[in-house]
Structure 1
Amino acid sequence: MAMATSKSTAMEGRAWNARFPLSRSTTISCLSVLLFFVVWQVAPELGLVNGRFTSQPTKVAAAALEVFASDDFFYHARISLTEFVLGFALALVVSVPLGALLGTSKHARYILDPPLMALYIAPTLVLLPIMVIWLGIGMASKVAVVFLGVIFPIIVNTMAGMREADPRLIRAARSFGASRLDIFTRILVPGSLPSILMGVRLAVGRGVLGVVVGELYVSQVGVGHQLMTYGSSMRIDRLLVYALVISVFGYTLTSLVRLLESRVRNWRTE
């Protein structure tokens, strides 16, 4: 019975692929997004919501053309992207070695784990005034906010990946005379790659949030500054343009990391 059910499911999948170029999950996702835009467009016209506060897809599209043409969009996007890349890259350089140290050294965990967890629990917004006092309102404070938001998920996941290495492989390597460096580079690092990439994927959202929050409060340029400007002036259409750009950027980057993560997992199982 189970074999017959699996065969029928496989036949249905092949029939679906023969009729439609996209997979079933992709088609359903696209239809749900299309339905959302239709409801968003129609609801203000029917008086179900106040269009002044929700705008409409057609108005947002027209505002996007104006923003891209005459609002220095690419200048603000370049500033925000630079802050994100610098903070993220610096966090990667620090967090992966630190997570590996905490995952392989019990004494390092005893010393560093309490203060790191205290900083991890503290909201980034609480630390923003301190960053501004120390670093000013320029790019450095936003890079620091991104760094603080990104570093902890990568540390935690790297540490977990190192500690969850298969002890049988480690014992086998030691029995063949492998050194600590050999065990680290050939067992611990490859085994922890999926966890590290998971931490990177989780950190993407925190990094994007760090840029936006930093620019919302202490900046005169950047995407977050534009969000604050148009929110204060009730230009909901232009505000949504920048919000959608941020969402698309974060979703695209997260999807790329997830794709890399799945390929690493498949490589390990081969």
Structure 2
Amino acid sequence: MAEARVIDHPAARAAFAWTPNRVRLATVIVAFLIWEGLSWSGLFYRDVVPSTFAVVRAVYAEIVSAEFYHHFLITFGEVGVGFVVGSLFGISAGILLGTHPFLRAAAEPYINAIGSTPKVIFLPILFLMFGIGVESKMAKGALSGFFPTVLSATSGILMINPVLIRVGESFNLTRRKMISMIYLPAMVNPIIVGLRLGLAIVIISVLIAELKFSQAGLGFQLAQYYEAFHIAPMYAMIIIIFAFAALANWGMTVLQDRANRYRNIDGTGSGAGSLSVT
């Protein structure tokens, strides 16, 4: 009787190999099964761990509700304005500190100290200055987003190859041209890393402020559901906020990839734009 043999073909192994996408899908399936198991196990009060189907229905109810978009636009505006203002001031201050060692030595201890301080302690001051409306949330977002951006921009300046700076100086470039042709192209990656971190901190900062000190926004809506013990809508709001943050992070990833691709195509992978004397 002929012996049956299993052929170990590379194509067969590849068909069953774990890929990142398969791992992600498996993670979602396992999380779903665990959640459903906890929901029906009786280990928790039923409403504390609602069925995933109830949560999905709550998500759908939110996204078809006009009230949801009112709260979403408020949070989006607070995050957007806070992020843009904080980033602009952070990049500008980072360039200033990076190009002036004396200013950097004088300001660095204060920036490090305030940057490591929870920004929620500044809320009373911001409320006194801007009230409890959206303006104070924008200000808190800008304050929170400023510090990671200024630190990343300053580090980006310090990491520039000194040869590039000497080349710019040999061409007698003005400070404005040095910034636009030497510093900024070389700072793309550090700045985008700082912007990504800053955006995440701004989102967290705004939502924390909305949870207790707001009359509108996604954080306010989340707190309302919790206080009313509407658990499925509460989880739905958490999922929506998570999706919002994930989409923002994906946008920063796309921005970084395009910036790197542009630098490679432009031949400026070394970190500076092309120099020409006119």
Deviation at 1:116, TM superposition (A): 2.3
Deviations 1:206-262 (A, max 9, x none): 111111111112111111111111111221111111111111111111122123223
Tell me the distance in 2 between the aligned counterparts of 1:121 and 1:251.
Answer: 24
Alignment counterpart, residue 107 of structure 1, candidates 96, 102, 105: 102
Tell me the distance in 2 between the aligned counterparts of 1:131 and 1:192.
Answer: 32
Deviation at 1:176, TM superposition (A): 4.6
Structure 1 unpaired stretches of 5+? 1-10
RMSD of aligned Cα (Å) = 2.4
Tell me the distance in 2 between the aligned counterparts of 1:261 and 1:71.
Answer: 34
The within-5 A match list for 1:121-132 is 121-132=116-127
Taking structure 1 as the reference length, the TM-score comes to 0.86
Q: Is the 8 A contact 2:82 2:141 kept in 1?
A: yes
Tell me the distance in 1 between the aligned counterparts of 2:64 and 2:171.
Answer: 65
Query: Percent of aligned positions with the same letter in both sequences?
Result: 26
Structure 1 residue 171 corresponds to structure 2 residue 166: yes
Instruction: Name the larger-Rg structure.
Output: 2
Deviation at 1:48, TM superposition (A): 4.0
The within-5 A match list for 1:1-270 is 15=14, 24-70=19-65, 72-269=67-264
Tell me the distance in 1 between the aligned counterparts of 2:262 and 2:194.
Answer: 19
Taking structure 2 as the reference length, the TM-score comes to 0.84
Deviation at 1:136, TM superposition (A): 1.0
What is the number of equivalent residue pairs in this alignment? 256
Deviations 1:68-104 (A, max 9, x none): 3447111111111111111111112211111111111
What one-letter code is carried by the residue in structure 1 that aligns with 2:164? L
Q: Is the 8 A contact 1:87 1:144 kept in 2?
A: yes
Q: Is the 8 A contact 1:91 1:150 kept in 2?
A: yes
Q: Is the 8 A contact 1:41 1:58 kept in 2?
A: no
What one-letter code is carried by the residue in structure 2 that aligns with 1:163? L
Tell me the distance in 2 between the aligned counterparts of 1:115 and 1:217.
Answer: 29
What one-letter code is carried by the residue in structure 2 that aligns with 1:67? E
Higher helix share: 1
Identify the range of structure 1 (108-117 vs 225-234) with the bigger mean alpha-carbon deviation.
Answer: 108-117
Tell me the distance in 2 between the aligned counterparts of 1:149 and 1:102.
Answer: 19
Identify the range of structure 1 (153-162 vs 60-69) with the bigger mean alpha-carbon deviation.
Answer: 60-69
Tell me the distance in 1 between the aligned counterparts of 2:97 and 2:51.
Answer: 50
Deviation at 1:267, TM superposition (A): 4.1
Question: Counterpart of 1:72 in 2: which secondary structure?
Answer: helix
Structure 2 unpaired stretches of 5+? 1-9, 266-278
Deviation at 1:60, TM superposition (A): 0.6
What one-letter code is carried by the residue in structure 2 that aligns with 1:150? G
Tell me the distance in 1 between the aligned counterparts of 2:25 and 2:96.
Answer: 44
